[in-house]
Structure 1
Amino acid sequence: MSKRSQGTMKTVALNKLVGTFITGVCAGVILLTSLPASAQLDPDEALKSLVVADGLEISLFAAEPDLRNPTSIDVDAQGRVWVLEAANYRLFNQSIEDKKGDRIRILEDTNGDGNCDKATTFYQDPSLQAPLGIAVLGDRVYVCQSPDLFYLEDTDNDGVADKKTVILTGFKGVDHDHAIHGIQFGPDGFLYMSVGDQGLDVTDKSGDRVFTSRGGKYQAATVLRTDMEGMHLEILASNMRNPYEPTVDSFGNVYISDNDDDGNEQTRINYVFEGGDYGYWNEGTGGRRSGNKRLDEIHWNTDRAGTMPTMLKTGFGSPTGLMVYDGAALPDRLRGTLIHSDAGPGHIRSYRPVPDGAGFSAEMEVLVSSPEDSWFRPSDVTAGPDASIFIADWYDAGVGGHRMVDANQGRIYRLTRKGESNKYLVPSVDLKSDAGLRKAFLSPNKAVRYLAHQSASQPSNADLLLNLFRGSDAIETARAFWLLVQNDEHRNAVIREALNDKRPEIRVMAVRGLSRFVPHSESDIAKAMSDSDPAVRRQVLLEMAFSNRSTQPQFASHGDAGTYDDWLATLQREYDGEDRFYREALGIAAEGHDNAAKRLLAEHEDAPWDSRVAGLALQYHTPDLFAPAMKTVEDDALPFGVRESALRAIDAIGGDDAGAYIVARAKDSGDQEVQALAFDLLTRNQGDTWRKAMNANDLDGYIGSEITNGKSTPETLAFIRELRREGLLPSLIENVTAASTTVLDRIEILKTIGSVISRGDFERYEECIGKLLPLLESENEEIHARTFGAITQTRGTHTRNVLGDYLVETNRPRTLRLRAVRTLSNTKLGSRKLLDLANDESIPDDILFNVADTLRSVKFESIRAEAIQLLPPEESRDGAPLPPLGQLLRKRGDPDNGKELFFIEEKASCSRCHSIASDGPDIGPNLGKIGEKLSRQAIFESILNPNAGISHEYQPWIIDTKSEEGLMGYIRFENARILELIDSAGLTTSIPIADITAREKSTISVMPSGLAAGMTEQDLVDLVAFLNTLE
């Protein structure tokens, strides 16, 4: 066994799952004690488990004990690997691992055999806690750790940092995954980084305040750029969720990965538009859109003009490091691609950006995976001076959610061309000769390139740069360009040469340089505006909009409105009606310039709209476009796509007239496509956008009349369900109880009634529920179940009595009786009702175990204590104690039986809260890819201790209102008017904001503890075996 494999494991803290799982005697909660932590595979075995793509080989460079928990890496010009560690990870969630603080490690291969043989600590300090970005640039080591961006220096050359300089502060997300991370040096000499949706409020060294705010111009997560000293900080793009690391190619194109709401298979690669909005939070409100978050238009608002389209959806994942590979050591197909680490499925992937109109598209290739070892969690990638790729592996059972299982392991791998020696031969850096400087300047390693950049910027090297710029290799041209364009003597000539280059990527770059570093010439801009390539014209639009920054010369004077509007009109004529990237660029440039819409109208005053004009109208959506948009919607001779854009434009224009018009279209059943779209638009943002219009134009009256007359449609019922239109309950009740209503219609209406009844005092719905009770006697099982479901959505004395009577009737379906138990247990009075029934010995034997287990784990302490005395816990369902986790992991499970358990209500009952498909319940995270995201050990731990790691989107809250205390669940939706809370039974409470008296975060997961007590030991193993197959 290698030295790396012999490193002994430390004991991990209790809440990091060191312990034997036993059934506790307190409230039936599973406790953890004294299990030694162990990884799935030692480093050498883990290496053997890795699968690499054709033409590649992978080797192990370093492992524990030389490093632990690497979050980010960089490789310096000497070939040493610098590692940020995060042993003290999320201290609000677990105890501190190392009181001396986290470390920055330097790993070195001194003999060139491809293995680390020297490991030292460059920096360790109690203030260093789970940093998330590193860039080694000359004698500075830049580090990202909220709230700061700082650099470290070793001023006495002893290999240990002795000076720390904070250049920017105010990044939010301290001790949080969604903070500042992923710093990279760009070809322009600037630093690029990102901040997650915790946001920032930073004042840069020039005194400019740069900040995000909910509903503001910049919100959620951002991509940032700054100079090396922090004098000028800029937001390039915003409204992502948690982009981990931006990367910049030689031409100035910025790419970044973005994480989704966990489990929704919406992780993505974005091409960054300067000024782009990427759609995570709703425009203006800062809320999240409700609905099926597996749909692009729901998750990222991609159906809204003003939201950037996605370059590539990568699906399930926890995306981390990203780089552009410009080296030649790997197979030729990888040169110029993005190399990406995704810790969720455990993949290293490549993507080649392919021009797609004014933007890019891409396809993915998996370069490295580990199907046999789910602990492989790649956290970063970077190129060494020899052009090999180094990969950091967090190595853990899970990733994200502010949770880790292991604190002492971590690996660094090295990816090379297949068949070549594993030796790590670091080229020397020669900055004095032209040949040496050229070689360093073209290095794929950022640290070497930085040194060359500094040296080549000297005036004496201008001729070398000009030779590179005029060469045939586009990357050489690009890298030389960024220095020459910042040279007073050469910038104008270089810009003009670049604008006339045959390669579009060089011409796009020229526009960027023209905007940022060169006082503009109108002839140069005219040249770019008339370019045949849409990407060049797109960049002109973006620079027009983005050029009024204080850090740069103005590209297009906003004071000269006529010139700006002329340019915009010229560029808008080039829109082809299809290119979404180009259309969004027009929208960014047109912001604050209403003349763009007026010119559009003037040019098409009498002609019917086509897809081009309709698309521009949607993008601009100014009031001037309202009348012609109405005319277009009503012209049924036009393609529906054109009419759709016109109605969406009216929706975006807003105002009372627009609202009245959309409601009118919803009432027009003669045009079903437009009617369906109108209902969809009215439903957005929980109906808040058009609530006034719906009420003023009596939409409920129309729908109620249609329902009463038996003319309900899927669109109207979906609308009622989504917005919970309580005023329509009488019509729904009348229709559902009518003898003429078909079984299928009755089922759909009952589903709608259940959604409409926002849980509250029963008295609000007493009359309605009273009319439904006879349907509980229906012989149709689904009608019976739907009726019962509607009743459980209410709360009050009468409902508690109905549910209490129901659960003791053994002739009723057992699954529904158990649902009655869960419903009652979610309130203090309901829990008391259950306890009273137990005291009276009224609980039938077939559900007594379930009632007892439920009462022992309710959140109401006094009731829980009484329940433990009255109904002492059993050790497990079959009376046997659970063995240690290590033994559980060695047992083989039956996935088929596990699948059955997943869906059985009285056992695991996972399917009550979790879906494994694209639809289904969303009380808890979707588990369709859980086998990729978590190892078997982590799945066991999530079931046995659900409070250890809670997904951000399912953060539980305890809310007190004027009428009730202790409402618990996660917030599904919130705006200025209302908050929706979903509890562990899946019941939704709609709470007026004005009624809330207190709220606080809870550390208790909505997922109940003690789930294993409802299963045998083998059941638990089988369930985990099934979940582990979900990939």
Structure 2
Amino acid sequence: TGAGKRVSIYDIQPQMWTYERTAEGGRTPYRAFVSIPGHLYENFNRPNYRAILLRGIAWAGRRPNVDALLNENELGDNLRYVDGGPVHPARAAETIEVHPEFDLSLVAAEPLISKAMNIDWDEKGRLWVSETPEYPNGRRALNTAAWKDSGSLQPAAQTRDPEDSISILSDSDGDGVMDRKHVFADKLELVTGFVLYKSGVIAATSPDIWFLEDTNGDEVADRRTKLYTGLGIVDTHAVINNLRWGLDGWVYATHGYSTGMVTSPDGTKEFGRDGSGVVRFKPDGSAFEQYSSRNGNTWGLDITWDGQVFWTQPTSGTVLFHTVLPEHVLAKGRLPATTSGNGMITGQKTFPLMSWPEQAYVQIDQVGQFTAAAGCAIYEGGAWPDEWRYAYFTGEPTLNIVHHQFVIPEGVSYTTRKELGREDTEFIRSRDLWFRPIETRVGPDGALYVVDFYNQAVIHNDTRGPLHGPANAAVRPDRDHYFARIWRVQHKRAAKLDVPVLDRTDLPSLIRTMETSPNAHVKGTAWRLARENHASDARVAAMSRPMGSRALALYEEARVATTVADRTALLDTFAAASDNWTRSAIVAAASGQEPAYIEAAFTHQEPEGLGDLVGAIAPGALPDHASRLLILAAGAGPSARALKLPVVRAIARMEGGSIPVDAATTQALQTLLDSPDTGAVVLPVIAKWDKAGALRTAAERRSRGFLTELNSAGTSGERGVDLAASLIAVPERRAEVLGVIGSMLADPALADALKTRLLATLGEQAGSDVDALLVASLARTNSTPIFDQIVRRPEASLALLAALKDGTISAARLGPGNLARLRTHPDRKVASQAAASLDSLTAAGGKPDIIAALLPEVEKPGDAERGKALFTGACAGCHRLGDLGTSDVGPPLNGMGAHGRAELLAHIVDPNREVDPSFWQWNVTTKKGETFVGVIASENAAGITLRSPAGDVEIRKEDIATRENTRLSLMPEGLEGLGGEALRDILTFLAGGDQKFRLVDLRTAYTADSRRGFRREEDRDETVTLHRFGDVTVEGVPFFVMDPARSSTGANFIALKGGPGQGSLSDEFPQRVEIATSVTAASLHFLGGVGGWAWPAGGDQARGKPAMKVLVQFADGTSEEHVLRSGEHFADAWSYADVPLSTNAGDFTRRGQLRYFALNLGKSGALS
């Protein structure tokens, strides 16, 4: 080997290598093959080991055929399906546990198919499948050695044709298992979804979408038409996926965070960005748009026969979404913070068949919940009992489960619940570590179909720090490109549905199928065929199917409302609505009719409930109708106060255009000025638009009175904030009002919500005087909202840096998070000055050095209660953990303690080592010069919602000057500045939570295998004959029982030296074991309490004798010893005798018993 590194047969470690060398003077090189296996001798006789050993001998002996020494049992399936590896398809069902009401059967597997990703059925009932052996890298060039990265099917041949395909499967012998495959389209690269269309399919192979067409009837695609290009592909598991037909003739799909700029194939037409959530496009290549936007990877879509759009999002903590209002509606108007989708199944605990010690991976995020949910099926199959209608199914491949919940109507959307009596289990779960369910669909026969990507490798984008390859997949050597399974799940009492063969030319038959079939897939296929082949027939138009929620239906109805009566009825609906989707639907429908709706609101019988509507739509009526609205507001009575204020405020904030201040408008302004309700809010309008000065004297008099009121001791709260917001726009009062605002911001009695309004008012004002006030207020209060307002303003940020430099504000007081925001400020001048000046104020040191220095400190026992308080103050503004935190700025942290303190510390100190693209920081600068940073929570054609610790900010695209993806984490660097003690306590809280019990990991202490006897190995009944494994609960206490088949050493419990002697195996057990732990405990709970030859087997003389000693060492150096005695704590393992200090644990053994007991420690403390 290179670099002077050598291997040696004298190294005491498992190893395997070859050696070839030509001796000096020799002509033929000699060869050596070396294999030194580990100690588990069972492996020596496995076919796979024998095969490689005999192949090595044949190679060393220069046999031309290296398989020459092998027999049939050492080749073929015996070599492919080995113990501990993939399970043969014929035996795979044995590893899968299914809901007891259902049967599971295999539909297709390798070698017929490889790496199946999506399925669908055509009008003949035939199963189509897309296969992606190219996943994840495709033909991209590797960025590391080929042996390290198995993400490419053929890493050395990137100029080759790609090998993904779409095929038709058939069952020639009627046994239910597919045995023939006809390839419809080959040479595809990374196909992640398709729909059947006309005489072919529309397929997604990012960055392109293709129509693959059969023009001559041989069921082979001979014409390929690119419909769209430019789709995002930076991460191949976050691209467009799961294509589905909508009832409106659009193709819908889910989409991950790999965003691009979608265009026509020739680039002449731009359709906009393709972002996370749901997208849709027309099959003729004419339109592509975002349908539902939500930050996070998204994989799984279903559209029901009544037009509801449901989708699965793996990584956000909320699994299932229902699109209530699409983005094209929200782009026309909405109430603040209204999102497109309604999220369900949030923070759902999972119940895999294997406990975490048995699983191959610790989930990267959302540990114990959903981190990679894939697939979305809403059951409308028509074959199962009625209670299963609208049941939701999704896979979680990292945990080898398929999850189920019932979907129940609630308002304009839905809610979900688990099946009663099965709250603590899953619909399907497996012990096979290769079982990876990534797709769920309901077929035309009424069964649920599950696509199993069958791969030992899972986790594409591993954010824990490993090298990532060209498709943003973690580099690893063990990704599979061969195996695949498709499973059929059918209810035991399912009605038998005959799958019809539909004739696309027979419209009456298609209509009859839509009217009578109980199966939504069959109905949908008939509807597609009717649209494709009979679009001009009036009967097809008459059967038009609705798409979307009740809120969307209301929008469609409202947007064509043209009469006063129609608008009044919609205003009644708005006032009565309890959800913002219904209210936003009416706001959006009013787009283009704003003056008419505002007039209708002012004449409504109950205008007080319509203020939000008027406030949302008034800007759309400006500037053209400003005078008209002022006159309308001035003429309204006192009951319309809730409408007058938002109208006048909208006009005060109006930018661009002008207000023709004629006599009627002047009179309206005078009336509003004289009114106690509107006198203050109209001052900015007069100051800005009364160019002739007709109202100057009256306005000056009123502003003087308002200023006196503002300065009076009795004016505070909302009235004071309203007055300040109005008076600051009057140039003559500005300086004095700024002083009052400074005092109000420093007033601890003023509510935070009102301070936020004051800061928003300051944000609308330019000028160095405002910058100085903000910096001075920060120095007095160290308020996070004030800092947020400062960093929006480049000049204020520079003023803050000057204050840091001259010592007015200390870097320590500002904190590492805020310092990092200055260093990464979108304004280059601010960022460069911050980097230069802050380096001298903060400690230096490389990340690895900092982590190495802190690790010994954070590994010590910490204070979880103090850690919770620190987490609440420093972390909960961005992260959710249990019931802490209110925002999804960063990823949720539920279960993250399972990753251990060292890994978590690395992410805290170095948050940019690996960043989930869902949480990339975006820098946005507006045309006014304001700067914003955050993650993009949602986006549509009209604007983006930027999420940061300061809250959500909606920014219209027409106001954006620049937007930059930093590819950095919004989590600040420099958090090591919190100090080792604080970080230790935070990590203690993260790792411990509020759990009453903590499992102690015994894996390093196991000494015995429950499959082997104590006296002689073959006496398998003379041991603790365990037959129940995994997570168990005894008397309310959780334990984990290791399955020896899953143990890395084969050992699965602790047995210590003892027994009859005479050469028994029990003599070889150790006398003592040590178990390192860092838990804090007041008691220890044991599952065991049995011994070979313990009382009563040893007679009465055995009663009271020490069976085991437990020495507990505390972190403070103290210790205590507990003696466990035969006949008191311990009983004979092979009898059912009772003893007073332990209890029978229940059914754990084939023979004899297992017992439970607890030891109360002398004190509660941290253990070592």
Distance 1:993 1:770, change over 3 A: same
Shift, 1:584, TM fit: 1.3
User: 1:144, CA displacement in angstroms?
Assistant: 1.0
Indicate conservation of the 8 Å contact 2:393/2:404, yes or no. yes
- Is the 8 Å Cα contact of residues 630 and 646 (structure 1) preserved in structure 2? no
1:255 paired with 2:221, answer no
Deviation string 1:818-863 (CA, Å, 9 cap, x unpaired) is 56755765543344334445xxxxxxxxxxxxx325x757xxxxxx
Q: Structure 1's 211 and 480: CA in aligned 2 closer, same or farther, altered over 3 A?
A: same
1:84 counterpart residue number: 132
The root-mean-square deviation of aligned C-alpha atoms, in Å, is: 7.6
Secondary structure at 1:900's aligned position in 2?
A: helix
Hey, what does 2:843 align to over in structure 1? 852
Structure 1's 354 and 81: CA in aligned 2 closer, same or farther, altered over 3 A?
same
Which residue of the partner structure matches residue 337 of structure 2?
Answer: 298
Q: 1:615 and 1:683, CA in 2 relative to 1: closer, same or farther beyond 3 A? A: same
Look up the equivalent residue of 1:1007 and give its one-letter code. Answer: M
- 1:379 is paired with a residue whose SS is strand
Deviation per CA, 1:905-935: give whole Å up to 9, x if none: 7xxx434654558996869425266769999
Separation in structure 1 between the aligned mates of residue 380 and residue 205 of structure 2, nearest angstrom:
28
User: What is the TM-score when the length of structure 1 is the normalising length?
Assistant: 0.55
Larger RCO (alpha carbons 8 Å, 6+ apart): 1
Query: Cα–Cα, structure 1 residues 331 and 170, in superposed 2: closer, same or farther, change >3 Å?
Result: same
Q: Return the letter of the residue paired with 2:327.
A: Y
Which letter does structure 2 place at the counterpart of 1:382? R
- Equivalent of 1:519 in 538, 548, 552: 538
Tell me the residue number matched to 2:207. 147
The C-alpha deviation readout for 1:724-769, integer Å capped at 9, x for no partner, is 9999985664235659996312877766666666699995556536
Alignment CA distance shift 1:418-1:959 (3 Å): closer
1:576-613 deviations in Å (ceiling 9; x for gaps): xx96444212245x2xxxxx4246479999x9999799
Post-superposition shift, 1:412?
5.0
Is the CA contact (8 Å cut-off) linking 1:73 and 1:392 kept in structure 2? no
Q: Would you say the 8 A contact 1:759–1:795 is kept in 2? A: no
**Secondary structure of the residue that 2:538 maps to in structure 1?**
coil
- 1:243-298, Cα deviation, whole Å (9 max, x unpaired): 7565455x5746342759x7485962237xxxx743586339xxxx9xxxxxx951
Displacement of 1:329: 6.4
Structure 2 counterpart of 1:744, one-letter code: A
Residue matched to 1:1005: 969
Q: What is the match of residue 172 of structure 1?
A: 231
| Aligned CA distance change for structure 1 residues 123 and 654 (closer, same or farther; 3 Å) | same
Q: Tell me the distance in 1 between the aligned counterparts of 2:744 and 2:103.
A: 71
CA distance in 1, matches of 2:930, 2:249: 56
**Structure 1 position 196, deviation (Å):** 7.3
* CA distances 1:633-660 after superposition (whole Å, capped 9, x unpaired): 376x627436655665656555454598
Question: Residue 271 of structure 2 aligns to which amino acid in structure 1?
Answer: T
**CA separation of 1:351 and 1:670: change in aligned 2, threshold 3 A:** farther
CA-CA distance at 1:1006 after TM superposition: 3.5
Summarize the Cα distance change of 1:210–1:345 in structure 2 as closer, same or farther, 3 Å threshold. Answer: farther
Name the residue aligned to 2:101.
55
The one-letter amino acid paired with 2:606 is L
Deviation at 1:704, TM superposition (A): 7.4
Output the CA distance in 2 between the equivalents of 1:380 and 1:90.
24
The CA distance in 2 between the partners of 1:912 and 1:188, in whole Å, is: 41
CA pair 376-666 structure 1, distance change in 2 beyond 3 A: farther
The C-alpha deviation readout for 1:995-1026, integer Å capped at 9, x for no partner, is 97x87543443434676796589768646536
Change (3 A) 1:57 1:660: farther
Residues 258-657 of structure 1 mapped to structure 2, 5 A cutoff: 263=316, 268-270=321-323, 277-278=326-327, 282-283=331-332, 297-300=336-339, 313=344, 320-323=374-377, 325-327=379-381, 332-335=386-389, 339-340=393-394, 348=402, 361=414, 363=416, 365=418, 368=427, 379-383=438-442, 387-392=447-452, 396-397=458-459, 404-405=473-474, 408=479, 414=487, 416-417=489-490, 439-441=498-500, 452-453=501-502, 456-457=503-504, 478=523, 482=527, 516-519=535-538, 539=546, 580-588=551-559, 590=560, 596-598=561-563, 600=565, 621=590, 626=595, 629-630=598-599, 632-633=601-602, 638=606, 640-641=608-609, 645=613, 650=618, 653-657=621-625
Conserved in 1, the CA contact under 8 Å of 2:209 and 2:227? yes
Alignment-mate amino acid for residue 518 of structure 1? D
Distance change (3 Å), C-alpha of 1:580 and 1:982 = closer
Find 1:795's aligned residue among 794, 797, 807: 797
Q: Which residue of 1 aligns with 2:892?
A: 927
Instruction: Spell out, residue by residue over 1:795-834, the C-alpha distance to the aligned partner (whole angstroms, 9 max, x if none).
Output: 336753446636779xxxx654656755765543344334
Out of 744, 748, 751, which is 2:749 matched to? Answer: 744
Counterpart for residue 829 of structure 1 = 833
- Output the CA distance in 1 between the equivalents of 2:709 and 2:253: 55
Contact 2:772/2:799, CA 8 A, preserved across alignment: no
Cα–Cα, structure 1 residues 326 and 786, in superposed 2: closer, same or farther, change >3 Å? Answer: closer
Residue type of the partner of 2:685? A
| Cα deviation digits, residues 345-368 of structure 1 (max 9, x gap) | 9985667788899x8756455764
Partner of 1:1025: 991
- SS at 1:641's partner residue? helix
Q: Which amino acid aligns with 1:876?
A: A
Give yes or no for contact 1:957–1:1000 (8 Å, CA) kept in 2. yes
In structure 2, the residue corresponding to 1:903 is in which secondary structure?
helix
Letter aligned with residue 223 of structure 1 = R
Distance 1:237 1:664, change over 3 A: same
Using the size of structure 2 for normalisation, the TM-score is 0.50
Report the AA paired with residue 257 of structure 1. W
Amino acid at match of 1:925: G
In structure 1, runs of 5+ residues without a counterpart are 9-40, 290-295, 303-309, 422-426, 428-434, 442-451, 492-515, 529-535, 544-577, 591-595, 777-781, 838-850, 858-871, 883-890
| DSSP-derived class of the 2:807 partner | helix
**AA at the equivalent of 2:132:** L
What letter matches 2:281 in structure 1? L
Distance 1:787 1:691, change over 3 A: farther
TM-superposed deviation, 1:133: 0.6
Amino acid of the structure 2 residue aligned with 1:586? E
950 and 972 in structure 1: CA distance in 2 versus 1, 3 angstrom threshold: same
Partners in 1 of 2:413 and 2:956 — Cα distance? 44
Give the one of 724, 728, 739 matched to 1:734: 739
Structure 1 position 390, deviation (Å): 1.0
In the alignment, is residue 768 of structure 1 matched against residue 733 of structure 2?
A: no
Equivalent position of 2:852 in the other structure: 876
**Distance (Å, rounded) in 2 between the aligned partners of 1:326 and 1:115:** 24
1:324-373: CA deviation from partner (whole Å, max 9, x where unpaired): 5454665553356564557899985667788899x875645576487999
Letter in 1 for 2:833: L
Percent identical among aligned pairs is: 15
- Please report how far the alpha carbon of residue 674 of structure 1 lies from its aligned counterpart in structure 2 after TM superposition: 2.0
Long gaps (5+) in structure 2:
1-41, 50-83, 348-369, 420-425, 464-470, 660-681, 689-698, 825-830, 996-1168
- C-alpha distance after superposition, 1:37-60 (max 9, x if no partner): xxxx98789999988666346689
Residues 206, 232 of structure 2: 8 Å contact kept: yes
Shift of 1:629: 4.0
**Letter matched to residue 416 of structure 1:** V
Q: 1:371 to 1:650 in 2, by over 3 A?
A: farther
Code of the aligned partner of 2:489: T
Change (3 A) 1:625 1:802: closer
Rounded Cα–Cα distance in structure 2 between residues aligned with 1:329 and 1:641: 47
